[in-house]
Structure formats: C-alpha cells, structure tokens
Amino acid sequence: IMCASAKYNTRGPALIPRMKTKHRIYYITLFSIVLLGLIATGMFQFWPHSIESSSDWTVEKRSVHDVPVVKLPVDSPIPERGDLSCRMHTCFDVYRCGFNPKNKIKVYIYSLKKYVDEYGTLVSNTISREYNELLTAISDSEFYTDDVNRACLFVPSIDVLNQNALRIKETAQALAQLSRWDRGTNHLLFNMLPGGPPDYNTALDVPRDRALLAGGGFSTWTYRQGYDVSIPVYSPLSGEVDLPERGPGPRRFFILSSQMALHPEYRLELEALQAENGESVLVLDKCTNLSDGVPALRKRCYKNQVFDYPQVLQESTFCVVLRGARLGQAVLSDVLQAGCVPVIIADSYILPFSEVLDWKRASVVIPEEKMPEMYSILQSIPQRQIEEMQRQARWFWEAYFRSMKAIALATLQIINDRIYPYAAISYEEWNDPPAVKWSSVSNPLFLPLIPPQSQGFTAVVLTYDRVESLFRVITEVSKVPSLSKLLVVWNNQNKNPPEDSLWPKIRVPLKVVRTAENKLSNRFFPYDEIETEAVLAIDDDIIMLTSDELQFGYEVWREFPDRLVGYPGRLHLWDHEMNKWKYESEWTNEVSMVLTGAAFYHKYFNYLYTYKMPGDIKNWVDAHMNCEDIAMNFLVANVTGKSVIKVTPRKKFKCPECTAIDGLSLDQTHMVERSECINKFASVFGTMPLKVVEHRADPVLYKDDFPEKLKSFPNIGSL
Amino acid sequence: MQTRKKYIFLTFLASWLLLFFFGGDQLRRFAFFSGRKAEARRNWPRWTDRTLLKSFADPEELQGDGDPSLLSPRERRAAWLSIYRNSRCRMETCFDFSRCERNGFKVFTYPQERGQPVSETYGKILSSIERSRYHTLNPEEACLFILSIDTLDRDHLSGQYVRNVDEKIRGFPLWNGGRNHLIFNLYSGTWPSYTGELGFDIGQAILAKASFDTESFRPGFDVSIPLFSKDHPQRGGDRGWLHQDSVPPKKKYLLVFKGKRYLTGIGSGTRNALHHIHNGKDIISLTTCKHGKDWEKHKDTRCDKDNVDYERFDYQELLHNSTFCIVPRGRRLGSFRFLEALQAACIPVLLSDGWELPFAEAIDWGKAAVVGSERLLLQIPSTVRCIHPERVLAFQQQTQFLWDAYFSSVDKIVHTTLEIIKDRLSPRRSRSRLLWNTLPGGLLVLPEFSTHLGDFPFYYLQHGYSPSKKFTAFIRVVSQPGSLSQPILRLIQAVSGSQYCAQIVVLWSCEKPPPPSGKWPQSTVPLTIIQGRRKVRGAGGRQGSGTGAGAGTATAQPHPPVLPPQPSHRFFPFEAIQTDAVLSLDEDTSLSTSEVDFAFLVWRSFPERIVGFPTQSHFWDPEQGRWGYTSKWTNELSIVLTAAAFYHRYYHSLFTEYLPAGLRELVDGLAACEDILMNVLVAAVTKLPPIKVTQRKQHREVVAQQAECRDGAAGTPQPGQQSPSAPHSAPAKLKGTAGSRRFSQRQDCLNQLADWFGYMPLLSSQLRLDPVLFKDQVSVLRKKYPGLEKP
C-alpha cells in the first residue's frame, strides 16, 4: 500500500535468500529470454495499434463540422426519467473509482459525434462554445483519462447546457446509445438552463436515468442532495468585460436591481422600495430609446438615465438577484464579479456549489415574502461585514464562476470529495479568500486543553563536550518534581559519551541519543524517546535555574501548551535607519522571543521544525550553526499567531558572576548575525510573525507580602 | 534433472510468448505498457473553428429570463402550499413564519396529561426545553410546539410504544395539521425492515429523528439528531477523554470494532463482513453472534471462535486505546457507538450508507470523522493508515470540540436542534457554517449580537482581526448619597488618564438621581451616565426577573413602585458600550493609570478571557462534599472579581441573552453572585482560567462605603446584597457577621451554579502576569510601569 505516511515506516525490505550460483544463471537466462520476448511482443502488438488508435485524435486541424454523424433510429431506447431517490451509495458505482494514492477520480470524455434522427435532421447543435471550453478544461485537468476502462466518471460530449437548444427525446436516445451508458451510472451531465415553457422544470427534462446532474437552477425539490451538483449559470459577460476589483468604501447606491425581465409583481415591489427610500435604491430596466447600433444588452436605463452594464453593478453595495422563469440567473455571476453583495430572492433555490460554499458569508438570502422588508434587513448589516461580503463575493466569482473551466473543476472536485471524503478539500480552502488565508492562522493545537500535570515533561539537553557542566545541569534538572525523563543529545561524533557509570544517578530515566552529524537541528528532532507532550529544551550550561523556577515554568506551559514558555527573553525591533529588523538582548520592557536554551514547548513543534520548516531555514541554521532558537520562535508564532511567555524574572543563567547577556550572544558580530537571522527568516516567512508583549508570568504570590513558606514557588531567583 | 528443468523452462517460455501474441489485447491495459500514453494522450481536440462556435444561450435569453405567461410569484407560492406538503415539506411551504415574527422564537410544550407517563429520556428532552431561554407557557405567543406524547420509541414491539397517537393528536386544538410542531424520535420502524415508519401521521410537523436516512429526510426542514442512551446526562455532561495532544497521535490500536454480527436481516451486509479486516495486531474487529433469542439457529462456523475472541477484549478499553473506531450501521442507521467514539476521541469511521449525519445542516463532519462507504469496507484499513498524523491530531481535537459543544448532554442536543431551526427563520440573523464548526461552537455564539466574526472575542487569530485598541470603562455606582465620593472621583481620574480609554460609562443604580453633569469631573474622554432603573424596565429580556423582584419590594416602598437595581443588571449589553473591551469597575475600586494601561495590553493578548486584578479561588471540599470558595491569598486563582477586570463586550450579551432568565433570577436572589456567574460563564465558554495581572497591594483595608450604600438604595431585599464585591478587601479579615454571611452566600452561589451548569466550569491558574521588568533590580527609569511597584 502506498501512502503518505510511508516515511514513518523505517523497516527495510525483506531479505531474499541467496540462491545457488548455478541455479542463478539459469534463472537469469530465463528471465532475459522472457524479457526479450516481452519487448518483441510489445513492439509487434502495440506499436501499430497506438498509431492507428490515436490517428483520429492527434490530427489537430479538424473542424467541429467534420465529426462523425450518428443516426438515431426512431425506436432506439430512451432512458428512464431521472430517479429522485438516487444517492451516491445507491446509484453510483464506486468500484469503478478504486483506491488510489492520489485520491483523484478519473474522468473520461466521449468523443464528439453529430446526432441526427431518422430523417437526417440534427438533434441539437453539435456543441456550444461553453461546453467545448468545459470539456477542454476537463481534458487538460488532472482528472482526465483517455482510457475508458479506467474511468470512474463519464462525461458525454452531447451538449445539454441549454434545454431550449435540444430535442428532448432524441437527446435522451443519443445518451442511451453511449458505449458505457449502463443506465447512466457514473455519467455526469452539465446543464445550466433547465426546463421550458410552460412549467419550467428546475432540472433538466431529458430522461437520464441514474446520471448525475450538474445543474444550474435546482430547487430544493429536484436537487438530490449529495448526488447532484448545483452549478452557476455561466455569464458570457465574464469573459468579455474586465471589471477590476473595487476596494472597500462607500458606493453610490445601496440597493440596485439590474435585471430586465422581472415579473411585473416584483418590479412593483422594487419600485415601492425605491419610492420609499429615495436615491439609494435604483431599479433599472431595459432601455427603450437607444439609437441603433448600441448593444442594448450592455445598457440599462432608469427613466432617461443610461447606465453601462455590468459596470453599474460596481456602484452599488447590494444587488438584487431575483428569480425569473428559472431559479438560476446569469446575473448572479455578473453581480459577484462586480463585488456587489447579491441579495438573492428566489425561494427554494439551491445556490451554486452550496455543498461546499458558505453563501452566508457572501450573500443575503431573503424570502420572497419579505421583499418589502429588504431595505431594513440590509440596513442592519454592519459595515465591516458588508466589506467582507463584497470581498467574499468577488472571491467566489474568481474561484468558481469566472470561466467554464472554473465551473467544471469545482464540480469535479465536489464529486471527488464525496468519493474520497478523507482527502476532501476543507471548508477553509473552499471558502477563505486568499487575503484571509494569508493573514489568518490555523493553530494545530486548537483545542483548549490543560494537559494533566502527571505526565510531566522530558528535558532535552543538547551537548557537545562540556561533560562537567552537562552533569551539573542534569543534577539540577533532575530535582524538578515533574521531570519524567531526561534525554541527552550527544552531538559530538568524534568523542564517545562518558561511560554509563560516570553519569549522575537520577530518579528518572536518562537516555543518550548519539547523532550522525553535529547539527543544531538535532535538538529539535521529534525523538521517539520523548513520550510526554512537554519538552524542556535546555543548554548544557544553564545551571542557575532553580527547581522551583523550572517546575513553575512547566505549570505555566500547562496553561499555555501551544506556546513557547521560556526563561531568557529577547526582542526584535525595527531599525528605522537601516530599514530592517534588529535583534535586541538588552533588558527591555518588551519580549517577542524566548531562547530555547531554556524553554518549554509542545513536542508537536519538533515535528514542525523537522518536517515543515518553510524554505531553506533548517539547512541555513545548520550551516551557520546559529539561530535555531530564533527559527523555532518564528515557526511557533507563525503557526499559532500567539506570543511567547517569558517566565520569572531570571536573567542570569550560567553563573552568578556572568553578565545577564549570555556568552554566546555577547560579542558584536554575533549580534549582527542574529539580526541577519531575523531578517532572513522574515523574508522566508514573507511576514513578521513574532508578537511583542509587555508581560511575563510570575507565580501568583510573587514578591507579595506573604510568608514565603506558604508560597508554592518560593525560590524564584531575582535575576 | 537438469534437462527436465530445461524443458519446463522452455515450455514456460513458449506459453508466455503465445500468451502475448494472442492474448495481448487483454493485457494492453497493464500499466507496464503505458509508455504509449506519453506519446499521445488523446485529449479533447482543439477544434480549428472553436472560436466560431455559438454560445450555449444567446445573451437575450440569459438576461431576459422571464415569461409573462407564468403564474405570478404570489400565485405560485400559493400553489406551492398545496403541492409541497407532507413528505415534500419545506420551511417555506409547511411552516408558519408569521407565528415567530410576533414574539420571536418561543417554544411551547404541551402540558403533561395525567395517566400519560413519558419515558425518562423524553422527560429529559422536555425539561431541556423548559430550561431553555425560548420556553413559553403561553401557546398564543409560541412559534414552535412540542407534544407531550412520548414519540421517541416508535417500534411497536417496544414497551414504550404509545398507542393511538393519531387519535390523541387529532384531539389537540393546537395541532393544526402539525404546522410549527417539532416531533422527537429515536427509534422508528421495527423488525425486519426497520423503516422510518412512525406509526402516525406527522403531517406538516418537523421531525427531529435519530438514524435519519437521506431519502426520507426533508432537507432544510427536518433535523437529524444523534441516538443517545437513556443514561445520557440532562445537563453538563462528561468531558471528552482527550486530555492531551499526544505526538505522534497514535494509540495502541489503529482501528477497532466490537459488536454484534448480524447473520441475517437488514444491516447484516456490513456487520457480517467486519471480521474480515481483523488482523489481531493493530486492527481489532470483533463480532459476536449472540444476540436475539434464536441466534443459535442462524449460527455458522465462525461463531464459536468469534464469541471466544469477543470476550477477550473490553469495549471500553478498546475505545480508550484506538485511534479510529468503526461505527457501522446497526439494524438502524445510527448507533450509540457514534457518540461513544466521539467522546472517546476515537475518530469515528462511519459505515452507514445513506445516513443523514446528526446536525449535518450545521456540523461539518468531514473535520471530525471518516465517512466511509459500506461497499468499500475492505479499503478502510489502508484508508485510515494513509491519513496523515497532522490530520489525525486535528480530527481528535475536533471530535472533542463537537462532543462538548453539541452532544455531551441532552440539553445540548435539544438546544442545538432548536438553534438550527431558529437559524432558518431569519437567514440574516443566523450562524454561518464557520461559526458552527469552530470553537466555542454555535450555541455560544449569538447571531443577535452580530453576524460579523470580528465582533466576537473568539476569531481574531483565525481571521486576522485584532481587538479594538481602546476600551470602555464601565463603573457601577450603587451607593452615592448626594454628591460624588472621593474614591469615584479618583477612579474616574485614573481611568481617564489612560491613553487607551475611549469612554467612561457610569451605571447609576442609586435611589437618588445622579448629580448634574457639571458635578462630574472634567476629563478628556466622554462620560455617559446610564440610569439603572429605567433600563431595567426597558430591557425586554429582563422583564420577567425585574417585575418578580419588584413585587417583593413593593411593600417596603408603597409609592412610587421603583425597581431595585438587580446585581446582574451590570452585565446588560448597554448600547453605550462601543468598544470591544470593557473595564468593569466598582465605584470604590482603586486603580492607577499604569495598572489600567498594563492590564489592557495584557487583555489584548487574551481577548477571550477575563483579565483583572483582585482574584479568588474555588476548591473541592471533600469533607463537605461540595465546592468551597476562598478569598484568602492562595497560590491559585479561578475567579477574577468584576470590580476591576477587563473582558470582551460580547460577554454582556451572552450573560443577558444566553443565560436563561431563571438563572439570572437565582443569581439576583443571592448576594454577590453575579460576578461568580460571569466567571463561570466565561470559563464555560473558553475552557480556560482567567488571568490575573499585577496590582499594587495598598488598599487592603475594609471597604468603607457599606453603610451609605444601604442608605442609597433602600428597598434592597437584603442588606448584604448591595455591597460591592469589595475587591481589595480580603473577607477573611472581615470579622463581622456581614462578612461571613457574604462569604457563605458566595459559597452557596458557587454550588448552585455548579449544579445548574451540571459541572464546575471554573479552572485554576497558578500564574500572574507582571510587566517584564517588574521588581527587577534595574533603574526605575528603564521601567515602563514603575508605578506598579510602589509599596
């Protein structure tokens, strides 16, 4: 089985027992003969075939009019009408789709034919421009297969986008004679204009048996939830008119109606609204007195004023989308394109792609009966939300409405998500516009949990050769009540770690991990030996931290398990002279980083550091032997959006005489290098994720006038 | 020997060649020979005349989609009413919206009839509704009706099956063909087919049913609810079992199932196949044949061995120790194990084709469960093996969130059902899918407050918003005699000195009218005075509690009938509060500007929590078997007094509108309980403790204003009630009886709230946030908040 988690499987291939040499020769000879035979067979069998079979495809220079003609006998079978009870588990053959590592369905497109009836009259137009675009898009996509036997979904090339343009019975017959029709199982039809006079059915009238329908204009009674796909009615204006996205800000009109063939009853209601609310409501109509030659479809009029359509849509905050004879209206697409918030008034309408799109974020749906209250309903929406809805509307158009390609791919993706639900695209990916995706965070540890104290933490000490100091650190850390294991990462390949007997005897298990290379990133590897959530990263020279300070740090981490909780705090600053970031290790009133020389954090971040660090940061850190701590701070802040927590006032860590600023970062070149790191990382992350705060965590009774012996953590050093 | 082998090989070779020459056609599909694909993938042709193709519809047709011969919209809607009924019901055809417009969303439960006992579970459902803030006793103002007839078990073989429901219903004058009725059902149909048959005509009623199948489900009308046992708790409910985010998120087993194997009948297709995936190592799938009386009749060869294996594993142990749990259909589509797995953070792998998942209208199950297909059972092991650990971790957390938000008690299940229906009534004031599927969940987010995510304290990080940069100081005054006292003047001065202060709002809850505006200190920020009493009457939602208490005081105050200021009134969502942050203050609180500044900056880092100064804590008292409360100095804290605390303005709305009136009455009846309730509420929402910030410990003496206070607000039922929460006093030091009474009242309050919520939401914290250089041995000049360190 192939799957993404294969990298966690480290076992090698099973060993093949060695055969005797003599036998081996036989086998090898035999194998080569068979192989040669196979190759020869392949040459004879498949070469001519492939040339032959692709001959009618590879020739690009063909016209739609040259496609083969198929005559449909009068008595050729007609499929059953669509079955309203169809669902994926009853009418769809999943076995055709199979289990595949990519989790992609395979879509086959029937070749184009021209269908004529007994008398040679065309059944429908061969293919429309839009349907051709749609099929081209599918054919160019990852979903496409040209092998009918491997396909999971079949798309007929018979164009049923517009029911008015076809003959229903004959089209049905044409469908039924498709080579893999099989009662329409796994067949997908695209239709945008269903129904016809007088009753305007809300789904395609062509009998189609079990075929799935991607339809524009479903009502809740014809839509088979989880089986059909509701799609938009494509507006060809999308391709013709370029409306640049309009930023937030006031617009000339509050409500605008631009549809031309409104039912008089609706028009009356809209005009009443206009009369009531004055100029903020604009109800446009067809222009009657245009001079010849002006394309009437691109103009709208109100009394004598002439407006350009669809540009006028950008002048309004809300745009009314009323149902016509059909529920689905092409104007919805124009409205979204203009970044105008659609006010959808079409009872029982299934909005396009409603299975995945959250229309509440981009539109206002008002029941037909509530039309008179429209103005007050819309007035109650806060301005900030309107701006977001405008942005959202525009995003829906860009992603799912703007072209037949967008419509086709969204439809296939929805079906794909049903078949491979565990690999489905998430709500956020469908709905969040790029600006939100960019500025928001999705915390991988989002559930508010205070981990049980009992599991304790694992201290991870990175060391090279300072054995004496290391032993002191081990002894000190082992005094912390919640320590559950101590892991020494021995980063020196030239020297063996001291013998077992020389190590300090401590009450918790002590493990030594030897690394293959002296890399700083070894400190952040998610070792299997770390069995607790909490990791205490500590340098081998941090000897000043008291047991109370460490225990308290662990308690603080439990309250903030998704943050870096550490002792030495640092700050990044914007250097206005140099126009870049600067690293600050002075005692400041603010903190934006904690050094991982002594810090608690969740083991999950080890995974992130090792496998998900953006760009080349990880290698860069290993190459420069510096800034792994800054990289960790960036990583955690970027994924959680939260600040670090500095605990306790402690500022000296190595020895009482040391200055507070530790040796490593003391000299000037190092400071410069650290600043470089910040600038480098900020450019890789594309943003500055670090958050500056002015607080640190102390025990509740720290420095309070209260008997020390009653405090939980009395021994909190002052510097 | 050798020659024989040679011949064998030769024959072998020959047959291979033959196979390839003659049977090659069959083998062509082998991926081995896919070389040709690279040469010419037969794509959809680029037609030479593709640009000349006609559009699918001419623009006239697209833009002028009208047909004057059609029915007018009004006629069409009227025609719909008669066509789309019963099994084709939708909200717009079967539900009378006008009933809900007059009085809002009110739910009426039919009175219990004598001699008509209901099952324990239905009793819980009814009491959940009666406890909800939507309940009404008046059928006239109701929008939704709930029957008193127990319709949960409609299996006519069951003991709880109620007979002649049709007849009974017809006798109800309010029935009205089922319009605006909500019917709950857990079991429908019976052996052998277990259809959705209820045994009576529900007409136009909304059906909230467990094990709903997609075919009979009326989308946007019915509600699918989960199947829950009769032991499901009424309120509160147990927590989920995930206490830590282990990394990697693997447990001992990958996938488990333990349950009955149906040898015949509906559902046996899947149940009879489950044993195939058992591998005895990381996939444990155990089935037993033992069920029903005559299982031995259908017994097959597997049964005996399976039954033995079955006994070797404990169901609970498997639940606890598996990453994924198979949740197959039983005889019906839903099963108890769905909720069991959800609670256990064992990611449900659903094998129940055609099941309309519980609350699927609101909940995005793709984030918490693997929706498998019964037909692809054998692929399940490889499917779940391939789910990336990161996703597993997210799945596990989401199961816990959903469990806790919508399923852990009958209250939650019923309230979710009601909220889903309520959301349909006014699409404008409804929750987007995002709100339902992110913390803290749909029940705790009131669309009446706002539909904009940025107005809530929960979504700042997810959506890249940030809380407002200013705050509103909200001072409650209960005891000012005629002129303003020194403490309040000092307080206004200190607060208005903060660079982050946008406005000051004073809630004047005294008997006497507030001093004229000239008497108030002049400050740079606008000051608004709200007169408490008038607001109480004006506030619609609070009328019930207001008049109730008013009647009690009427004797003390013959005329005019003035309502006493209710303690909980301070958390009314006053329009005057314009900023996200509220700094709640009592009139005698003493704070300095730098304390306020620092605390506000801390709040901006934790906008969903209460951030404040004086704190108290709770603890479990095992001797008395109840919750204890202490205001002594302790190493922990769980309550921040609202006498000096920052919190998000949304909590005012949540307090007043989300909590049922009964609970607020309870709080108003107890002295000094409202701030505990606020803390309990915020903890229940966030599942996090509050945050304490540094405070100058200089006002530790007893608050002086008590006597005046009583003067100021005569008519208070109990003397202690009016005392402000005395932030800077440690009641332990209060030796008087007033102090100890107050203390025991607060303890009472704590226990009553724990009882009401069904658990103790409060959580303890061991830390306090101080400025980075607080009390460090550095020059005061370097410190930003030196003022906080003055002794």
- What tokens does B235 get? 């309120």
Indicate the residue of A112, A589, A699 with minimum beta-carbon distance to B783: A589
H or E stretch including A345? Answer: strand A341-345
Q: Is A256:A318 a contact under the CB 8 Å cutoff?
A: yes
Q: Which residues in chain B have their CB less than 8 angstroms from residue A161's CB?
A: 56-57
User: Are the C-beta atoms of residues B310 and B287 closer than 8 Å to each other?
Assistant: yes
Specify whether the CB–CB gap between B212 and B202 falls below 8 A: no
End-to-end Cα spacing for chain A: 57
pLDDT recorded at residue B482: 66
Nearest Cα residue in chain A from B606: A642
Confidence of residue B268 (pLDDT cuts 50, 70, 90): confident
- Model confidence at B136, pLDDT cuts 50, 70, 90, reads very high
Please tell me the pTM assigned to this model. 0.89
Give the residue on B whose Cα is nearest the Cα of A707.
B633
Instruction: Compute CA distances A615 → A442, A612, A680, A688, B394, whole Å.
Output: 19, 9, 11, 15, 24
Of A26, A266, A569, the CB nearest to B73: A266
* Interface probe, candidates B85, B767, B781, chain A, greatest A C-beta count within 10 A: B767
- CA distance linking residue A191 with residue A213, whole number of Å: 7
CA A572-A575-A578 angle, 5° bins:
135
**Would the CA dihedral through B609, B613, B618, B619 be positive or negative?**
positive
pLDDT for position A101: 76
Q: Flag if B39 and A62 touch (Cβ within 8 Å).
A: no
- The answer to whether A712 touches A699, Cβ cutoff 8 Å, is yes
Spell out which residues of chain A touch residue B605, defining contact as CB-CB under 8 Å. 642-643, 691, 693, 695
Cβ count within 10 A of residue B506: 25
Residues A247 and A217 in one domain: no
CATH number of the domain where residue A362 is located:
3.40.50.2000
Asked if A372 and A510 sit in the same domain, the reply is no
Peptide bond into A568 cis (omega under 30): no
Residues in chain B with CB shorter than 8 Å from the CB of A5 are 385-389
Question: Do A213 and A321 have their domain in common?
Answer: no
Q: What is the pLDDT of residue A719?
A: 67
For A64, the closest chain B residue by CA position comes to B47
Chain B residues whose CB is inside 8 A of the A533 CB are: 244-247
Is residue A159 a contact partner of residue A128, using CB atoms and an 8 Å limit?
yes
- Per residue, the 3-state secondary structure of A395-427, as one string, reads HHHHHHHCCHHHHHHHHHHHHHHHHCHHHCCCH
Position A75 in a domain: yes
Give the H/E segment covering residue A647: strand A645-647
Nearest CB to A449 within list B9, B244, B379: B244
Look at residue B217 and tell me whether its pLDDT is greater than 80. yes
Q: Which A-chain residues 456-515 have CB contacts (< 8 A) with chain B?
A: none
Vertex A75: Cα angle to A72 and A79 (nearest 5): 85
Instruction: List chain A residues with CB under 8 Å of B455.
Output: 382, 384
Q: Report percent pLDDT > 70 for chain B.
A: 86
Rounded-to-integer distance, Cα A512 and Cα A600, Å: 20
| Positive or negative: CA dihedral A480, A483, A485, A491 | negative
User: Has residue A33 been placed in a domain?
Assistant: no
Tell me how long chain B is.
791
- Quick: pLDDT tens for B279-299: 988 999 998 888 777 777 778
> How buried is A532 (Cβ within 10 angstroms: 0-12 exposed, 13-18 middle, 19+ buried)?
buried
DSSP state of B519: G
**A69 and A119 belong to one structural domain:** yes
CA–CA distance, A673 with A668 (Å, rounded to integer): 9
Residues A356 and A414 in one domain: no
B248 to A324: CB separation less than 8 angstroms, yes or no: no
Q: What do you get for the CA distance between the two ends of chain B, in Å?
A: 104
Q: Is residue A574 within 8 angstroms of chain B, CB to CB?
A: no
Catalytic residues of B: 675
Instruction: Tell me, yes or no, if A715 comes closer than 8 A to chain B by beta carbon.
Output: no
Q: Is the same domain home to A78 and A168?
A: yes
Q: Does the beta-carbon distance from A696 to B774 stay under 8 Å?
A: yes
Least Cα distance to A361 among A347, A334, A342, A379 occurs for A342
What secondary structure letter does DSSP report for B324?
E
Same domain, A201 and A275: no
Segment B169-196 shows an average pLDDT of 89
Given a cut of 70, whether residue B39 has pLDDT beyond it is no
Cβ–Cβ gap A129/B90 under 8 Å:
no
For residue A205, being part of any structural domain is answered with: yes
pLDDT of residue B569: 86
Does A444 contact B393 at a Cβ distance shorter than 8 Å?
yes
From the list B44, B60, B353, which residue is nearest A135 (CB)?
B44
Can you give the pLDDT at residue A42? 58
Q: Are residues A115 and A197 in the same domain?
A: yes
Of the candidates B558, B582, B561, the one whose C-alpha atom is nearest the C-alpha of residue B570 is: B582
Domains of chain B: which residue ranges? 87-225, 253-408
Q: What is the tens place of the pLDDT at every residue in B17-27?
A: 666 555 554 44
Q: Which of B366-375, B511-520, B711-720 has the highest mean pLDDT?
A: B366-375
A10 belongs to a structural domain: no
In terms of domains, do A395 and A407 share one?
no
Indicate yes or no: CB of A61 within 8 angstroms of CB of B692: no
Considering the domain architecture, whether residues A483 and A540 belong to the same structural domain is answered as: yes
pLDDT digits 0-9 by tens, B318-345: 999 999 999 999 888 999 999 999 999 9
Provide the pLDDT for residue B365: 95
- In chain A, count H helices and then E strands: 18, 25
Nearest chain A residue to B31, by CA: A150
AA letter at A643: S
- Most B CBs within 10 A among A20, A26, A45, hence the mutation to make, goes to A45
- Please list every residue in chain B whose beta carbon sits closer than 8 Å to the beta carbon of residue A711: 635
Q: Which range marks the domain in which residue A371 is found?
A: 238-288+295-401
- A325 contact residues in B (CB cutoff 8 A): 65-67, 70
CB B575 within 8 A of CB B462: no
A451 inside domain: no
- CB nearest to B784's CB, from A50, A694, A713: A694
Domain count for chain A: 3
Nearest chain A Cα distance for residue B660, angstroms: 26
* CB pair distance less than 8 Å for B434 and A364: no
Confidence class for position B549, pLDDT limits 50, 70, 90? very low
Q: Which of B63, B430, B608, B650 to mutate to test the interface with A (most CBs of A within 10 A)?
A: B63
Q: What are residue A460's phi and psi, to 5 degrees?
A: -115, 115
Mutate to test the interface with B, among A191, A366, A418, A700 (most CBs of B within 10 A): A700
Across the interface, whether the CB atoms of A699 and B766 are under 8 A apart is answered yes
Q: Tell me, what DSSP letter sits at residue B508?
A: E
Spatial CB neighbours of A290, under 8 Å, sequence gap ≥ 6: A296, A299, A306
* Mean pLDDT score across all residues of chain B: 83
Per-residue model confidence (pLDDT) at position B536: 39
Cβ burial, residue B145 (10 Å; 0-12/13-18/19+): buried
Which residue numbers in chain A have pLDDT < 50? 4-19, 47-59, 663-665
A313 located within any domain = yes
Question: How far, in Å, CA of B545 to CA of B133, rounded?
Answer: 13
Q: Is residue A630 part of a domain?
A: yes
Give the integer Cα–Cα distance in Å for A542 and B136.
66
Mean pLDDT of B141-164: 90
Q: A661 and A561 in one domain? A: yes
Same domain flag for A500 and A606: yes
- pLDDT, mean of residues B378-397: 92
**Which residues partner with A300 through β-bridges?**
A307
Q: Is residue B715 over pLDDT 50?
A: no
Question: For the structural domain made of B253-408, what CATH number should be given?
Answer: 3.40.50.2000
- Chain B residue whose CA is closest to A109: B44
Residue A17 in any domain: the answer is no
